[in-house]
Amino acid sequence: MGQSKVSKMEIRELSREEADRLLKRVPFGHLACSKDGQPYVACVNFVANDRHLYGFTTIGKKVEWMRTNPLVCVAFEEVKSPREWATVVVTGRYEELPDAHDTVELRDYAHALLQNKGRQWWEPGYVKTGLRSGERPLEPLYFRISIEAVTGRRAGLDAIEAVQPTRSSPSVLSSARRAVRKVLNTVVR
């Protein structure tokens, strides 16, 4: 019986530029907040610019908790397979953009960014939601997360494409991918 070799998955850090590109592409992030030592995570639609993540939601548990403790963390990911993925984690501070005179420009800016991201950007945060206690109130709220730190990792060969734009044609990339997989398959056997 021959021994089989197992290939090692390589994980590397993303540069800030690579992380920023992923943040601009991936529309949803997992927002983590906490209250009284209890964590809570919710999937939220975000748009990133250089210093902030902008979002839209309705008043509910996550907003109530972030009002109590504005320190938050948001994780974004692109997963092609268990061995090919990229992830970015943003830590920062929650800030509401209320419907007030002094925040009208910021709200308009957030609205424009979200509008450019996709046709139904508002829907995840503003749909009729049935709860055990009845329906959730539909009070729209724009907010932003001030980015304090960004970290990112990636694994696998194809994850490079996920974080780095390429000018190579798809056929060149496909043949390069096939060649690398062929080498990996012979190493694994």
Task: Give the pLDDT of the chain (189 residues) as one tens digit per residue.
Answer: 555 555 677 899 999 999 999 998 988 899 999 999 999 999 998 999 879 999 988 888 999 999 999 999 999 999 998 889 999 999 999 999 988 888 888 888 888 888 887 655 444 444 445 555 556 556 778 999 999 999 999 998 544 454 544 443 343 334 334 433 443 343 333
Q: How far is it, in rounded angstroms, from Cα 8 to Cα 127?
A: 44
User: Where do we find the tokens 């056929």?
Assistant: 171
- Which residue in 53, 48, 86, 45 sits closest to 72, CA to CA? 53
Q: Is residue 66 part of a domain?
A: yes
Q: Is residue 27 part of a domain?
A: yes
99 dihedral zone (left: phi>0; alpha: psi -120 to 50; beta):
beta
Instruction: Read off the pTM.
Output: 0.71
Q: Is residue 22 part of a domain?
A: yes
Per the structure, the count of domains in the chain is 1
> What pLDDT does residue 8 have?
72
Q: Is residue 69 part of a domain?
A: yes
The CATH number covering residue 36 comes to: 2.30.110.10
> What pLDDT does residue 187 have?
35
Q: Is residue 167 part of a domain?
A: no
Longest dimension (CA), the chain: 76
